[in-house]
Amino acid sequence: MNSAASIEQQVRSHYPHALSETAFRDRVFQFLDKEHCGNVSRVLLAIAQCADDVNAVHDADVTLVKRHFRGNLLGPFEMGGLAGIPYAGLTGISTIAHHIPDGGSALIVYGPHIYGPHIGITDQGDLGKLLRPGQHLESAACGSLTLAVRHLGSSPDYQPRDDEDDAEQMLLERRLLPYRDEILSAAHPLKAATNVAYTLIHELIHRYLRARKDEFRCESLVLAGGVAINTDARHADYVDLRHLSTLRLAEI
């Protein structure tokens, strides 16, 4: 068994339906292509993903994706920060609405090089950490969600601080707080927190779109969301694709 097959099996033991990055990208862009009759030259890409540099690989991917569409895809507009929460909020969605080219549309992707959270995996199949380039010891991924789970478990009375100097982490923890028991009682608390974060991000994006839908001049958007599973630099990443749809703004 070669190492690539092995990491795929490790990923699938946690996420049975995970797609390779390439398969994921093909799935999303075939869908986008169909929705736009092969003309994506007026589609603005907007993403909500964790600020973690392990996802910076995504920037190269965006370039590849752009090249695949002959450099026609616009953006990306970055909505996210720690753990992929779309901190840009209502103003971010309004800005996307106003940046879409005339007669164009948007692809909003959350998580795996799209919209949503991410989680690391080691060659041994340990979830929640990975070996980063230039390091010899594994470290946490998502570090932000790992810290949040640690804080939630530190005391039954834990309350995130109101701290402008740590605003994203504290807001993430505030949003996770109602799910504290669900997360801490799970067999794998970080995996549970990642799932909760995905649902939160998905709901936030939809809530912001409902609130600001009148500012869009296009009729529909394509949304793609899921959880990114980061491996070390020797392997491609994987994506647990959880949402891919066309959203008709008049119907939300």
Q: Is 50 in the site for Zn ion (CB under 5 A)?
A: yes
The region of 90-98, 101-109, 134-142, 222-230 touching Zn ion under the rule CB under 5 A is: 134-142
By CB atoms closer than 10 A (0-12, 13-18, 19+), residue 230 is buried
Q: Is 173 in the site for Zn ion (CB under 5 A)?
A: no
Q: Which is nearer to Zn ion, 4 or 167 (CB)?
A: 167
Q: Is 127 in the site for Zn ion (CB under 5 A)?
A: no
Q: Number of residues interacting with Zn ion: please give it, by CB under 5 A.
A: 4
Write phi, then psi, for 109 (nearest 5 degrees): -120, 135
The region of 49-57, 71-79, 165-173, 216-224 touching Zn ion under the rule CB under 5 A is: 49-57
Q: Which is nearer to Zn ion, 115 or 216 (CB)?
A: 115
Q: Shortest gap between Cβ of 130 and Zn ion (angstroms)?
A: 11
Q: Which is nearer to Zn ion, 52 or 173 (CB)?
A: 52
Q: Which is nearer to Zn ion, 84 or 92 (CB)?
A: 84
| Cis bond before residue 37 (omega within 30° of 0) | no
Q: Shortest gap between Cβ of 190 and Zn ion (angstroms)?
A: 11
What are the start-end ranges of the E strands in 145-237? 220-230
Q: Is 21 in the site for Zn ion (CB under 5 A)?
A: no
Q: Is 237 in the site for Zn ion (CB under 5 A)?
A: no
DSSP state of 121: B
Q: Would you say how long the chain is, in residues?
A: 252
Q: Is 52 in the site for Zn ion (CB under 5 A)?
A: yes
The two tokens of residue 112 are 């795996």
Q: Is 47 in the site for Zn ion (CB under 5 A)?
A: no
Q: Which is nearer to Zn ion, 105 or 144 (CB)?
A: 144
Q: Which is nearer to Zn ion, 174 or 217 (CB)?
A: 174
Q: Whose CA is closest to 64, among 6, 132, 113? A: 113
Q: Shortest gap between Cβ of 84 and Zn ion (angstroms)?
A: 7
Residue 58 CA to residue 123 CA, distance in Å, equals: 21
Residue 123 CA to residue 145 CA, distance in Å, equals: 21
The region of 4-12, 15-23, 61-69, 142-150 touching Zn ion under the rule CB under 5 A is: 142-150
Residue 94 CA to residue 134 CA, distance in Å, equals: 39
Q: Which is nearer to Zn ion, 26 or 59 (CB)?
A: 59
Q: Is 142 in the site for Zn ion (CB under 5 A)?
A: yes
State which H helix or E strand residue 31 sits in: helix 21-35
Q: Is 172 in the site for Zn ion (CB under 5 A)?
A: no
By CB atoms closer than 10 A (0-12, 13-18, 19+), residue 251 is exposed
The two tokens of residue 167 are 């605003």
Residue carrying the six token digits 């795996």: 112
Instruction: Provide the binding-site residues for Zn ion, judged by CB under 5 A.
Output: 50, 52, 142, 144
